């Protein structure tokens, strides 16, 4: 099978490419770069140069492919970037129909499910509160575009929570900051003891690959979490421990934050850019925990990284070695 992967040079996409290659697939990576990373030099990976903002370049890359893994995105949280991502995805769907490419796996975000009314939540649980930030709106609009094309395309939507593991530039920066934490501690929205959804990048990549072929996953939206009850505090303290630090959380009350965040959001709307701070306050201070039974059953997938501390230790070792 020949898979076309957007975002294949990125954090999650590079693990998807690895997993596809390990499974014996041929892979085409759609990227703006001139060359692929060295790690794939001896493997069956082809680079197809193009830009998500140039629909024809993506359409041309579809020639000969059996399915599309849409992992890439124009990175930013501004309204302009969100609009570009929606436009690019709708164009990708249009190009698929035009060129007869039947199946797409779309990597969405768990934020599209909102803050669940009860935990553990499932794909069917009502949201107690929806999140209206630009990023979430863009993911929801792409999901809607797929649902509207359900009679013409085979699709799978995978909603990912925050993903951790090797090869993320963002996590690399975060670890460098955590290394500098002093005795005063780390400020956090709330005490960090609320439930936090997470998944290891290798488990996410395995789920994404399986979504390309699992027939029970067709036209489904699946939540790809490790299914474990852990909090932001658990994650941060596992990171601190792996770095040889002691974690102290400086609690910043979400209630106190909501007022200035609301004011800042209002002010930023007046200036044409929305900061979406209120949504971030909600996301980091409420219990969010998803049961992953539907994903396990539909994909025949089982997360391997269900113990946070050893997984985080391994991740920190990777970033140390890469530094």
Ligand X SMILES: NC(=O)c1ccc[n+]([C@@H]2O[C@H](COP(=O)([O-])OP(=O)(O)OC[C@H]3O[C@@H](n4cnc5c(N)ncnc54)[C@H](OP(=O)(O)O)[C@@H]3O)[C@@H](O)[C@H]2O)c1
Residues in contact with ligand X by CB under 6 A are 6-7, 9-13, 31-33, 51-53, 71-75, 107, 109, 160, 162-163
8 A C-beta contact, residue 285 and residue 194: yes
Give 64's contacts (C-beta < 8 A, 6+ positions apart).
2, 28
Q: Residue 40 CB, nearest distance to ligand X (Å)?
A: 13
Q: Residue 227 CB, nearest distance to ligand X (Å)?
A: 16
When CB distances to ligand X are compared, the closest residue is 10
Nearer to ligand X, 35 or 251 (CB): 35
Nearer to ligand X, 158 or 281 (CB): 158
Q: Residue 196 CB, nearest distance to ligand X (Å)?
A: 12
Question: For 205, which DSSP code?
Answer: H
Q: Please identify which residue in the block is written with the tokens 């020949």.
A: 2
Determine the Cα–Cα distance for residues 147 and 137; give it in Å rounded to an integer. Answer: 15
Outline where the chain has alpha helix (H): 11-22, 55-61, 79-99, 134-148, 169-179, 201-211, 232-242, 254-270, 277-285, 293-299, 308-322
Q: Residue 127 CB, nearest distance to ligand X (Å)?
A: 17
Nearer to ligand X, 51 or 241 (CB): 51
Nearer to ligand X, 74 or 141 (CB): 74
Nearer to ligand X, 51 or 91 (CB): 51
Structural element, H or E, at residue 81:
helix 79-99
Structural element, H or E, at residue 202:
helix 201-211
Q: Residue 265 CB, nearest distance to ligand X (Å)?
A: 21
């Amino acid at each position: 099978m020949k898979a076309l992967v957007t975002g294949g040079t990125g954090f999650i996409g590079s693990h998807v490419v690895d997993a596809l290659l390990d499974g014996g697939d041929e892979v085409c990576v759609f990227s703006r770069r001139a060359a692929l990373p060295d790690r794939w030099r001896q493997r069956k990976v082809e680079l197809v140069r193009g830009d998500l903002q140039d629909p024809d370049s993506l359409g041309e890359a579809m020639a000969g492919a059996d399915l599309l893994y849409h992992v890439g995105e124009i990175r930013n949280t501004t309204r302009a970037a969100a609009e570009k991502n929606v436009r690019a995805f709708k164009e990708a769907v249009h190009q698929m129909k035009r060129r007869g490419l039947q199946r797409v796996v779309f990597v969405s975000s768990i934020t599209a499910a909102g803050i669940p009314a009860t935990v553990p939540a499932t794909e069917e649980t009502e949201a107690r509160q929806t999140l209206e930030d630009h990023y979430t709106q863009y993911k929801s609009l792409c999901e809607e575009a797929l649902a509207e094309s359900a009679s013409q395309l085979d699709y799978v939507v995978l909603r990912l929570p925050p993903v951790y593991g090797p090869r993320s530039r963002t996590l690399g920066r975060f670890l460098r900051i955590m290394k500098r934490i002093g005795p005063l501690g780390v400020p956090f929205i709330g005490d960090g003891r609320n439930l936090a959804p997470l998944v290891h990048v290798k488990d996410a990549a395995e789920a994404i690959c399986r979504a390309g072929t699992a027939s029970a996953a067709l036209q489904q939206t699946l939540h790809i979490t490790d299914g474990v009850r852990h909090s932001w505090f658990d994650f941060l303290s596992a990171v601190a421990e792996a770095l040889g630090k002691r974690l102290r959380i400086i609690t910043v009350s979400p209630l106190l934050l909501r007022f200035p965040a609301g004011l800042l959001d209002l002010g930023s709307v007046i200036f044409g850019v929305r900061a979406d701070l209120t949504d971030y306050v909600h996301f980091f201070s409420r219990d969010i925990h998803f049961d992953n039974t539907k994903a396990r059953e539909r994909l025949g997938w089982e997360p391997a990284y269900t113990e946070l501390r050893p997984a985080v230790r391994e991740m920190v070792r990777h970033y140390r070695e890469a530094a």
